[in-house]
Structure 1
Amino acid sequence: MSNEIKIKETILDVPTVFSKDDILRVINNLPIAVAVIDADLKLVLANRMVCIFVNKKDNQLVGLVGGTALGCIHHEDAPEGCGFGKECSKCKLRMTVNDTFENTKGHFQVETSMTFKSIGRRHLRITTQPFQLQKRTAVLLSIEDITNAKNYERAKIEKEKLTAVIRTAGAICHEINQPLMVILGFSELLIDEIADGQIQEENVKEIRDQAQRLAEITNKLMAITQYKTKMYLSSEILDLDAASSINISDPNPDKEKE
């Protein structure tokens, strides 16, 4: 009975016995990556989801220091191995596990980013919990890969930015176009009334040309289809040409280009 664990079923109130193999089977079928780390920061257990996450077998994980086992790209930065490199002091996963050992207090859903040799950069959500293993403190570590969720969140934010830009552009264009049409109209009338070759004719034509340029800018603003920025002095501004999909010089901007 030494390898058996008794768990009380709260629904039926009937004691049920789970063997060591049953418990391991449950751990291996958890839908989240779970590992046990000993006081030497080595993995002593890694479930199936950990193996899937880093694309390794459990015998390539157990017995190795966390960063080496998981394949952190910085685990070979120093001759001493994982934990001694310059980047190791910034590793939030390592800091969280160490703090769990030192204060025997768990951490819940700590978010961080790591770059792995096998899968590249991933966004992670980690949870730690200290417990006693063979009379020594160990840490139960769970790892959630939230990279896809973060990418979706980033895309959503970009979409909201684009929506705000489009609405702002529409309001600006509406306000600018009203006086702009007046300027263009009166410019054409003045050009018709001024004799050819007079200095005033060139001046009025310049006013008309600049007004037409403003009209082109408002057309670009109205045609924004993507949120793009560029550096201007020390800040970022909207890249109007990159954000607009319509070529103003095209006489048929609505016609699909081949």
Structure 2
Amino acid sequence: MMENLTTAQLKEQAHEAIRTGDRKKVATLTGEINSRIAAKGGKPVKALTKDPAKLAALKADRARIKQDAPEVAPQPVAQPAPAAQPKAKARKPRGINIAPKKEARACRAGTKQATLVDLLSRAGGASMAELREALRPWKDVTIKSGLSWDMNHQKGYGIRTTFENGYQRWLATDYAGMGTFRGDSHPDDNTEEQKAALLADNLANGYDPEEVFAVYHLVLPAGLKAPVPHTGGGVAE
């Protein structure tokens, strides 16, 4: 195709290739132009862009081409997926577990210690909520001190802790409800079908059976089948 073009036309194409940055085309056209000039005994063209005026024009053309070129939005770099973190194991509650002494001593009737013995020795034991209600104005920290110090160190009893949900507490103690469980009637007044229906109704209304509560039980010394009977009478401590 270049043989059909004049040298002047080749130079124009070479300048256009320089403006667009097509170096390969510039080299090809320059080679063809130099071949024609050499054939006529002329001096080969070493550079088409040595002329300051042409250089300025080329720079202006390149700036215009760059300005008119559509901006290419940067492509988002794919981020590696975060490594899966191992799930932390749920901390298992420990509660209060104390072995009994060799012997147990009697409490004075009507005292907080006697109340503790009565509640803890029930078949269903006593939860913190039940102890808090019966031992007012004692706070939780005082009640826990009563479990460890009064019951064990002073009276010789041991303490065992179990964990039960609201439905289990209702079955064990006729407690109206703990946490999200609600029971308005005595367990013994309900058939198994009624108990199942009550449980289903609670589950439908947000009861969480995974929510458990500490329940404390009295542990008797070896050879003792029941707590030591209370003696005399006393003012509540």
TM-score normalised by L of structure 2: 0.18
Higher relative strand content = 1
State the structure with more CA Rg: 2
Higher relative contact order (CA 8 A, sep 6+): 2
